[in-house]
A and B are shown apart, each in its own frame.
Chain A
Amino acid sequence: MSHDVLLSAQDLSVRFGGVLAVNKVSFEVRRGEVFTLIGPNGAGKTTVFNLISRIYTPTGGRITYDGRDLTAEPPHAVAALGIARTFQNIELFEHATVLQNLLIGRHTHRGTGLLDDLLFTPKARREAIAAREKVEQVIDFLDLQHHRDTMIAGLPYGVRKVVELARALASEPKLLLLDEPSSGLNVEETEDMVFWIDDIRREYGITVLMVEHDMSLVSKVSDRVLAMNQGEVLALGSPAEVQAHPGVIEAYLGSSDDLSSLRRSA
């Protein structure tokens, strides 16, 4: 049974000073699936994302994307290859409107050069309208219409999370990296997120690689889950399999010895 692999990490490692943040992590993400990384804080999940986005350079191992080696690419080349990401702590462009943020998301699809931009040639105008039409589709998908012209600085946290997602979608990616999409969201917002991620996979055919802590979201939406702890792979499989894995339980809750000693002293 061969699966069409879109992204593969092979023995990925990165060291910061004395800390081995990611240690020989290997996994494959298949085209069209939702693949989730879970693990306690500090496990190295976001670091893996940053390695894929090329914000960090691995000290060992390789990343292969769509048949090509990603490991040495400069950070700005990643988006052009069809990889988009959201950030854990929201890195939106604060002093721009939602619309402008989404338009910037489409940067890799720009059809104009500097001269066209300076002179606002008819081509520039056509490109601007085409970009706007695409962005409006994303706005409709995520129900951001009434925030369209609002500055990010004036938006509540929940809406900003959605704008992060919108901006990533605006670039028409093949692979979407979502870093904790539901963190800080309330129950309703999280449910919306579940539907959106599912729609993204089904309607747009975008492959999703996600870091998530909310286990119900993970179970509802993921095809496969990779559990990490302290920079290493712990378990890989379906959500149910991984959540039942003893190593995973120990990483999250501590060992059964700890649990029983707690019970005894209680």
Chain B
Amino acid sequence: MADLERGPLLDILAGIFTRPFDEPLNDAEFNAIALRLFARQYERNAPYAAFCARRGRAPEAVSHWTRIPPVPTAAFREVALVAGNPDDAHAVFRTSGTTRGPERRGVHYIPDLSVYHASLIRNFAACMLPDGARLRMVSIVPASREMPDSSLAHMIDVVLSRLGAGQGTHCATVDGGIDAQALSATLHEAERSGVPVCLLGTSFSFVHWLDGLVERGERFRLPDGSRLMDTGGYKGRSREVEEPVLREMYRELLGIPATHCVNEYGMTEMCSQFYDSTLRDTLRGRDAARRKLVPPWVRTRVVHPETLEPLSSGETGILQHFDLANAGSVMAIQTEDLGVQVEGGFRLIGRARGVTPRGCSIAMDILLDAVRERSD
């Protein structure tokens, strides 16, 4: 490996994305790269530097990555958090708008797509294709040319073109939603040919589509080795289904066993994703509880919601991620997600904001009422 203290950063990063997936960087290695990235981001990103300075954490005051100030995901709505000029970014991803009024959308500028692509390909391959299979990829997320703001659409496009067999298929458009007919045809073709497929999409669109299958009395027995990746919350876009129930539907209606159903947890503000461990464990003969796997170039900490002090394994708290793949923006991210550290990864519990706290809901209800009355 290159000299971590002085070698070119991009080369070092390229090196870590090719390391064995089950061997996280040791603390000294991770620390050396993290501190260099931090210094670079501090230097090139004025809002982040101001945020750190207010906490007395300029790079010269930080000797361990755990002291790097994680920026709240909400900050991506307020300022351009990019190491360099936002206008020079290769790609710009935006969070989806919320139902709660005219809030700003979070923006993640990606100055260098090569780092992002290298990390996402490595991560997806390790967690979704640990057997080295090249599968027919079928996405029920519209292509990224239709949704240029969506980091998920971008990621799936990269997976389709770089890791799939053949072209891969998008069975959804922004205007038309899921093309159930095309999807059925593709899956029937897989059944006939016996060639396994990999389905990719959001949980809510899977639920929507599966409900349609039940209505039409349709079901599939997809070939052995077929697998599925779902991601994201529901946000009121379909009925909500508990994860185990959804996995039972996948088994029942698609013939994909729970071991081959992988939930992905990712966010617009982060280049790295977290995948369920089940498929990788199963295909490598390991019997362990379902958890989110942390790629070797990421450190995830669970911290106390009030104090942000680290919690011990088994305690539920807020997730902080230190993601070396976020080289061009901010490496240290504080989420609004709740999780718990477990052996070999973490379990995602949900959104801390899932339940709106009482005070806020009162203020919000009152504001909405007044707005409604004025517009009536």
Pairing of A with B:
no
B→A interface (CB under 8 Å): none
